[in-house]
Amino acid sequence: MNFPRRGIAEDDSSAGASLYHGSRWLLESKILSNKRKLVSSRKGALKMKLSRILGVVCAFFFILFSALSSWSATAPTLTIFIDATSAPRKIFHAKLKIPASAGDLTLYYPKWIPGEHAPDGPVIDLAGLKFTASGKTLKWRHDLLDNFTIHVEVPAGETEINADLDFLSPATLEAGFSAGSSATDKMALISWNQVLLYPKGWKADEITYVATLKIPSNWKFGTALPIASATADQPNGETQIRFQPAPLTTLVDSPVITGEFLKVVKLAENPLVEMDIAADSAAALEPPEEVWDHYKSLVEQANRLFGAHHYRDYHFLYSLSDHVAHFGLEHHESDDSRVDERGLIDDMARKSEASLLPHEYVHSWNGKYRRPADLTTPDYQQPMQDDLLWVYEGLTNYLGTVLTARSGLLTPEEAREDLALTAADLDHTPGRAWRDLQDTTDAAAELYFSPRSWESWRRSTDFYDEGTLDWLWADVIIRQQSKGKKTLDDFCHLFHGAPNTGPMVKTYTFDDVVNVLNQIVPYDWRGFWTERLTNHGPGAPLGGIEGSGWKVAYDEFPSEMARVEEGRDRLIDGAYSIGLKLHEDGTITDTIEGMPAAIAGIGPGMKLIAVNGHKFSVEVLREALKAGATSTAPLELLVENTDYYKTYKLDYHGGERYPHLVRDESKPDLLSMIYQAK
């Protein structure tokens, strides 16, 4: 199979790859200059003689160099065998055969994980490393400047070495992305980047892997990686899956979901789109029938939004478990999305994660097919630059929320309530005074791993939620400027759409985004985005909400989506009243600078013990806030801080406050049009 990856082919900046290509280009330019010398020496017999000698010499070197060049241009093919039968013990064994020649063989463990936008490859969990050739154990050592690089001493005469390694998956529940908890007694996620090494000097597109995977007996599996054969006749009833040879890029981009309770639901044909869902129980796989209809509608609506697709087929790999890390990671032809065990069957849980699969699915177009040039690296060691994540993640987040509404995964009212929470949260982020949106992307590799404490002052990966508000604003501007003739859907058609292709990368820059927006409707898009990326507020960018005919307003009644969010995070959101976010056990996760709790002296990490002398509970706090609205007495919070207790007095009388969107009848209701199924 051929995988034209234009973007990657254009961008050759890996240290290993450029070193290799540099020397090859040097040889070829010498050959060309020698040929030129040959032509210019035909004027005299003497010169002719000389030229013959030169010709012979050149021919000799040409043949030599060609041989060297074609030898060095043959990209390696590795075989890899993964034994996942010990997944419930949370250990995975791998055996690789790697072409080699005498001397130093430099191998890499993937460091920068695509979609995670950070150098978070779990190298600390690599164990049991052993290299052999012809039955002899080889010496190896980590590179002193980079723990992801391993040097192996290959003896003379060897053309291939064997590598054995184990991947130690987190043994207790660990949050995070693909390196977080990934295996339970009943299911596992296999991310190939965690169980392999690859040789230096080649792009990930150039190295071929012939992979085989063995899974526990009676477990089923799902993956987008093309399969050669699957046999269930292994000893102990295990299944062995042989995959078609695939480039390293495709392998790393195609995780495998496997488990005892695994359900496959077909969502579309031509091309095939299916959900491969593994759960910790059979019951978790049986949601109301209409859930599947919404996901079928998601596929339909996404394809109408973009007008074309860029996968051969697509697999939603969906994990339902309380014992795996919860996140979503995009791939070109699949996604690795993980939620609670009851994430499909529980109504509240389903609402809380409604936009997860739409978001990851959108990434097949926005992030995988169209990718910022700065994020398009030839291998997994070259650092990625995150400065365009406001498009990669921000636009994806906006389109994800739009498709969530269009597919019926949330009702239009729920989608608006969700948007109100996004706007209110960003409107209570004083950190924008010092850190602009651009800097949240520039610092993303660290911000992804920042704690929730001080989040409102540090800021976090706000380009997701702020991206939603900003791209809504762009959508509204397109609709206003074109008098309703054009929408952001037209931008998506042009930027992400036809023709249908298999997986490939088409890179873009800031200028490309501005240019395509201008092709949809002429406007000062450069000025618009520059302002959005560099302004310091105050307050969230609400131009999109207000331009679409709605306003953010607060009252004492939490919306359904506010309750869903509080339930999911086990948090009490007092951000909009006293500027306090706390866990349901009273632990304060954040205080918002400039608001009553922070002014009184309370900070994150402290613990709320009592409210107005009454032992803290969620209800006690809510009732005290309510009572305070009709009283002049201060709100008294008894707080524990590093083994000391202190009562803080807050002069607050605003009651409980929760955000909503309310209609502004002076403007057309563009938001409802945006949320309408196409």
The size of the interface with Zn ion (CB under 5 A), counted in residues, is 1
The CB-of-388 to Zn ion minimum distance in angstroms stands at 13
The footprint of Zn ion on residues 393-432 (CB under 5 A) is: 393
Amino acid (1-letter code) at residue 3: F
Q: Which of residues 136-195 bind Zn ion (CB under 5 A)?
A: none
Distance of closest approach, residue 120 Cβ to Zn ion, in angstroms = 15
Region binding Zn ion by CB under 5 A among candidate stretches 27-35, 255-263, 389-397, 465-473 = 389-397
Distance CA 400, CA 421 (A): 16
Distance set, CA 178 to CA 120, 149, 394, 503 (Å): 9, 20, 21, 21
Question: Please, what is the minimum distance in Å from the beta carbon of residue 359 to Zn ion?
Answer: 6
Instruction: Find tokens 């007694």 and name the residue.
Output: 185
Query: Is-contact 368 5, C-beta < 8 A?
Result: no
Query: Least distance (Å) from Zn ion to the CB of residue 31?
Result: 47
Kindly tell me which of 354 and 639 has the beta carbon lying closer to Zn ion.
354
Q: Which is nearer to Zn ion, 258 or 355 (CB)?
A: 355
The window from 4-12, 141-149, 304-312, 386-394 that contacts Zn ion (CB under 5 A) reads: 386-394
Residue 359, classified by CB atoms within 10 Å of its CB into exposed (0-12), middle (13-18) or buried (19+), is: buried
Q: Min. distance of Cβ 393 from Zn ion in angstroms?
A: 5
Q: Which residue in the block uniquely carries the two structure tokens 């980079």?
A: 146
Query: Which range, of 192-200, 392-400, 445-453, 523-531, touches Zn ion by CB under 5 A?
Result: 392-400
DSSP string, 141-174: EEETTEEEEEEEEEPTT-SEEEEEEEEE--SS--
Q: Considering the complex, state which of residue 393 and residue 590 has its C-beta at the smaller distance from Zn ion.
A: 393
**Which range binds Zn ion by CB under 5 A, 31-39, 221-229, 391-399, 428-436?**
391-399
Minimal distance in Å, beta carbon 233 to Zn ion? 40
What residues contact residue 505 under an 8 Å CB cut-off, 6+ apart? 5, 6, 7, 8, 368, 369, 371, 376
Interatomic CA distance for residues 186 and 487, integer angstroms: 46
Q: Do residues 357 and 335 touch, judged by C-beta distance below 8 A?
A: yes
Question: Closest distance between Zn ion and the C-beta of residue 321, in Å?
Answer: 21
Residue 27 per-residue DSSP state: H
Closest CB to Zn ion among residues 276, 393: 393
Distance separating alpha carbons of residues 376 and 644, to the nearest angstrom: 51
Per-residue binder mask for Zn ion (CB under 5 A), 28-57, x = binder: ------------------------------
Q: Name the residue nearer to Zn ion (CB basis): 353 or 393.
A: 393
Site string for Zn ion, 504-543 (x = CB under 5 A): ----------------------------------------
Taking the least distance from each CB to Zn ion, the nearer of 96 and 395 is 395
The residue among 397 and 591 lying less far from Zn ion, judged by its C-beta, is 397
Minimal distance, residue 363 CB to Zn ion, in Å? 6
The stretch near Zn ion (CB under 5 A) out of 221-229, 257-265, 385-393, 663-671 is: 385-393
Judged by beta carbon, residue 138 or residue 329, the one nearer Zn ion is 329
The closest alpha carbon to 332, from 412, 247, 266, belongs to 247
Beta carbon of residue 360, minimum distance to Zn ion (angstroms, whole number): 7
**Stretch in the footprint of Zn ion (CB under 5 A) among 148-156, 241-249, 314-322, 388-396:** 388-396
How near is the Cβ of 432 to Zn ion at its closest, in Å?
21
Q: How far is the CB of 397 from Zn ion (least distance, A)?
A: 7
Q: Is 627 left (phi over 0), alpha (psi -120 to 50) or beta?
A: alpha
Nearer CB in complex with Zn ion: 393/439: 393
Task: Give the residue closest to Zn ion by C-beta.
Answer: 393
Return d(Cα 54, Cα 216) in angstroms, integer.
Answer: 65
Q: List CB contacts of 595: < 8 A, sequence separation 6 or more.
A: 428, 575, 578, 579, 580
* Closer residue to Zn ion (CB): 90 or 332: 332
- HSE, CB side, 13 Å, CA atoms: give it for residue 79: 8
User: Of 330 and 340, which has the nearer Cβ to Zn ion?
Assistant: 330
Q: How far is CA 402 from the centre of its chain?
A: 19
Instruction: In angstroms, give the least distance from the CB of 353 to Zn ion.
Output: 14
How does DSSP classify residue 587?
B
CB burial of residue 156 (10 Å; 0-12, 13-18, 19+)? exposed
Rank residues 337 and 612 by Cβ distance to Zn ion and give the closer one. 337
Burial status of residue 40 (CB atoms within 10 A of its CB: 0-12, 13-18, 19 or more): exposed
Min CB(54)–Zn ion separation in Å? 59
Residue pair 277/265 in contact (Cβ under 8 Å)? The answer is yes
Residue 593, C-beta contacts closer than 8 angstroms, at least 6 positions apart: 430, 456, 457, 579
Are 167 and 191 in contact, with CB atoms under 8 Å apart? no
Q: How far is the CB of 424 from Zn ion (least distance, A)?
A: 22
- Applying CB under 5 A, the span of 149-157, 350-358, 390-398, 642-650 interacting with Zn ion comes to 390-398
CA gap 188, 212 in Å, rounded: 16
Q: Measured between alpha carbons, how far is 381 from 401 in angstroms, rounded to an integer?
A: 33
Residue 366 beta carbon to Zn ion: minimum distance, rounded to whole angstroms? 9
Residues within the interface to Zn ion (CB under 5 A): 393
